[in-house]
């Protein structure tokens, strides 16, 4: 019998009843995980989930004015978007100064990274080159040519990971859990990246 897998739903991070403290929020690629709070905009490419705004995330710009949102939630969506960096860069454009972007993606070594047919990207810590505080070797010509854009106004504050719900992981000391997260497959089911826009 299979083990119950942990949920990557946005509702596990922010309950359905969350009003986000009155902040203006974009729920990017919401799918059926929609919030009813007054200042939340639920956006998805598919109208079958009845989002507030229907927009294909592979087509930029996003249909919002500059500096519109205090918080952008991108929960398990950017791995689906061809040219995800252009979408992220445009999210940085519509983010208010002092605002935050929260990105969740499948964890490293997880079969779901490219196992699902609609997953087209692997996103990890190295993928954030181009934000203010993530650099790359100055001898790299691609890096020099791709260092501009709205993303230069945000910085990577932190990242975290959620482990699979295996009994043996729960009893390990924290240092051993970290070792497992780095070196074993299918141990980390999702990684969260937290970015902020400077004032």
Digit-coded pLDDT (tens) for 100-138:
999 999 998 889 899 999 999 999 999 999 899 988 877
DSSP string across the chain: -PPPPPP--GGGTS-TT--GGG--EEEET-TT-----TTEEEEES-GGG--SEE--TTSSS-SS-TT-EEEEEEES-GGGSTTHHHHHHHHHHHEEEEEEEEEEEEPTT-THHHHSTT------GGGGBTBTT----TT-HHHHHT--SGGGGEEEEEEEEEE---HHHHTS-HHHHHHHHHHSTTSEEEEEEEEEE--
pTM, whole model, 2 decimals? 0.92
137-154 tens-digit pLDDT: 777 787 778 777 999 999
Q: What CATH topology corresponds to 10-197?
A: Rossmann fold (3.40.50)
- Please state the domain extents for the chain: 10-197
């Amino acid at each position: 019998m299979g083990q119950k897998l942990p949920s990557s739903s946005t509702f596990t991070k922010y309950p359905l009843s969350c009003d986000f403290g009155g902040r203006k929020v974009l729920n990017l690629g919401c799918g059926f995980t929609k919030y009813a709070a007054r200042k939340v905009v639920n956006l998805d490419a598919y109208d079958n989930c009845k989002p507030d705004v229907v927009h294909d995330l592979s087509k930029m710009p996003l249909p919002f004015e500059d500096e519109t949102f205090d918080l952008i939630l991108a929960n398990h969506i950017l791995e689906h978007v061809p040219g995800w960096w252009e979408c992220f860069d445009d999210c940085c454009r519509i983010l208010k100064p002092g605002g935050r972007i929260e990105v969740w993606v499948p964890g490293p070594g997880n079969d779901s990274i490219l196992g699902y047919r609609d997953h087209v990207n692997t996103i990890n810590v190295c993928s954030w080159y181009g934000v203010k505080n993530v650099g790359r070797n100055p001898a790299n010509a691609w890096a020099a040519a791709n260092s501009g854009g709205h993303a230069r106004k945000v910085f990577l504050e932190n990242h975290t990971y959620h482990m699979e719900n295996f009994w043996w992981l729960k009893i390990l000391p924290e240092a051993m859990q970290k070792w497992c997260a780095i070196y074993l497959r299918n141990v980390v089911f999702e990684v969260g990246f937290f970015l902020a826009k400077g004032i």
